[in-house]
């Protein structure tokens, strides 16, 4: 997962809460062709391993053929054998150390750190490649436990080399303070998949907003 070599923040797309993998693959291709996306996270809840494998088989080539890193949410145990680029784990999923062991040294590991500097420093020590803070805004996608403010992003990005990611209710209209605070990635679900003009327009709008925040 390429971190922004230019110093510019990049979009990190997460799959919507429910979708049918085959038709969704076309929608995803259009979204990824619409603008810069650093990573796609496959996020499924309450499905069995066969459903995970079907979704991975449908979506992984779409992402990887476009040089978009393909990460699994929660399932660090599946990522390596399934040819994925990494995994994202939360504080209640598995210890970051265990996820790192499962992934090996080369795959990307992301860790949810809510609004906690301590959790983020621990995640870095335990082998995370990026730390995720949030939720920054109200979101209907997840019942998010914590609320974060941009100062954690500015503190982290000034103190640490390890990339950070912002998540939670982020849209083209509200992302500027997060970009200016130094986040390396903006992780989004709703602002892309629920965009009134479709996901490709959502990706374009997010990239335009990132560029505007950097310029402004």
Ligand X SMILES: Cc1ncc(COP(=O)(O)OP(=O)(O)O)c(N)n1
Nearer to ligand X, 45 or 216 (CB): 45
Q: Rounded to whole angstroms, how far apart are CA atoms 108 and 127?
A: 9
Among Mg ion, ligand X, ligand TZP, none, residue 110 binds (CB under 5-8 Å by kind): ligand X
CB of 17 to ligand X, least distance (A): 10
Nearer to ligand X, 22 or 47 (CB): 47
To the nearest 10°, report the CA torsion of 71, 72, 77, 82: -70
Nearer to ligand TZP, 14 or 68 (CB): 14
Task: Supply 192's token pair.
Answer: 């892309």
71 close to 42: Cβ distance less than 8 angstroms: yes
Contact between 110 and ligand TZP by CB under 6 A: the answer reads: no
DSSP state at residue 8: -
Contact between 21 and ligand TZP by CB under 6 A: the answer reads: no
Q: Which residue from 106, 109, 108, 151 is spatially nearest to 133, judged by alpha carbons?
A: 151
DSSP state at residue 70: E
Is 169 one of the annotated binding-site residues? Answer: yes
Is 57 one of the annotated binding-site residues? Answer: no
Q: Which of residues 136-195 bind ligand TZP (CB under 6 A)?
A: 139, 141-142, 144, 167-170, 188-191
Show the CA angle centred on residue 51, arms to residues 28 and 20, nearest 5°. Answer: 40
Interface residue list for ligand X (CB under 6 A): 12, 41, 43, 73-74, 88, 90, 93, 110, 112, 132, 142, 165, 167, 187
CB of 92 to Mg ion, least distance (A): 7
CB of 195 to Mg ion, least distance (A): 25
Burial tier of 161 (Cβ tally within 10 Å: 0-12, 13-18, 19+): exposed
Instruction: Determine how many CB atoms are found less than 10 A away from the CB of residue 204.
Output: 18
Q: What is the three-class DSSP state of 25?
A: helix
Q: Which of 135, 164, 179, 209 binds ligand TZP (CB under 6 A)?
A: 135
**Residues in contact with ligand TZP by the rule CB under 6 A:** 134-135, 139, 141-142, 144, 167-170, 188-191
């Amino acid at each position: 997962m390429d971190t922004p070599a230019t110093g510019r923040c990049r979009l990190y797309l997460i799959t919507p809460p429910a979708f049918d993998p085959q038709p969704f693959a076309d929608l995803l291709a259009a979204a990824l062709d619409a603008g810069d996306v650093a990573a796609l996270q496959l996020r499924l809840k309450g499905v069995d391993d066969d459903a995970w494998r079907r979704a991975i088989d449908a979506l992984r080539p779409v992402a990887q053929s476009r040089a978009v890193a393909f990460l699994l949410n929660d399932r660090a145990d599946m990522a390596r054998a399934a040819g994925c680029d990494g995994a994202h784990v939360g504080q209640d999923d598995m210890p970051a150390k265990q996820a790192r062991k499962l992934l090996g040294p080369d795959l990307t590991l992301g860790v949810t750190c809510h609004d906690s500097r301590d959790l983020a420093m621990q995640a870095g020590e335990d082998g995370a490649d990026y730390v995720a803070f949030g939720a920054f805004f109200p979101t209907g996608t997840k019942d998010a436990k914590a609320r974060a403010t941009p100062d954690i992003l500015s503190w982290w990005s000034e103190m640490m080399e390890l990339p950070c990611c912002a998540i939670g209710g982020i849209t083209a209209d509200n992302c500027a303070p997060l970009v200016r605070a130094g986040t390396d990635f903006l992780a989004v679900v709703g602002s892309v998949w629920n965009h009134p003009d479709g996901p490709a327009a959502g990706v374009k709008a997010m990239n335009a907003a990132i560029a505007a925040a950097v310029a402004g």
